[in-house]
Amino acid sequence: MPDLLLIDKPRIYEGILLGFDFGLRRIGVAIGQTLTQQASPLKTLMAQKGRPDWTHVDKIIKEWQPQAIIVGIPLNMDDTAQPLTHNARTFALQLKSRYKLPVHGMDERLTSFEVRQSLFDQGGYRAIQKNQVDALAARIILEEWMQMNL
């Protein structure tokens, strides 16, 4: 695992996990269950320069009471940082500090591409809605993390 992904050491969880697909304008959120290792898209939060309205995040955390949070960290294909890597790590550390929950980084290379391709295959360009892409990408990030770590 590249050091850029390490925030908290992975461990086994039982219960609910939240996944985030970080972006400067939109942040996708997904909810997952460790028992089934499956996740569902929850919603897309609007952000300004990577900063969400924290009251929306507060509500999600309070409602779902996750055991841990998984944040997609964008990397280049050679495992090096790209411009958004620092922003995503900062967001992950803010979640950790604010909610006192374990936070784990997950390599999110190509997840948005994968979602867009899947949506396009299902219904062409009209099926690709930006708000939908982010939450679906969060679902993939969360499911892949569970498959690798649980």
Mean pLDDT of 102-121: 71
Mean pLDDT of 98-117: 79
**Look-up: residue for tokens 């499956």?**
38
Phi first, then psi: give them for residue 81, nearest 5 degrees: -70, 150
- What tens digit of pLDDT does each residue of 6-25 get? 899 889 999 999 999 999 99
- What tens digit of pLDDT does each residue of 91-106 get? 999 999 999 999 999 9
Q: How many domains does the chain have?
A: 1
pTM confidence score: 0.87
Mean pLDDT of 36-62: 97
Which helix (H) or strand (E) segment holds residue 97: the answer is: helix 83-99
Average pLDDT of the chain to the nearest whole number: 88
Q: What is the CATH number of the domain that holds 107?
A: 3.30.420.140
For a pLDDT cut of 90, what percent of the chain falls above it? 67
Residue 101: domain span: 3-149
Strands (E), 66-131: 68-73, 103-107
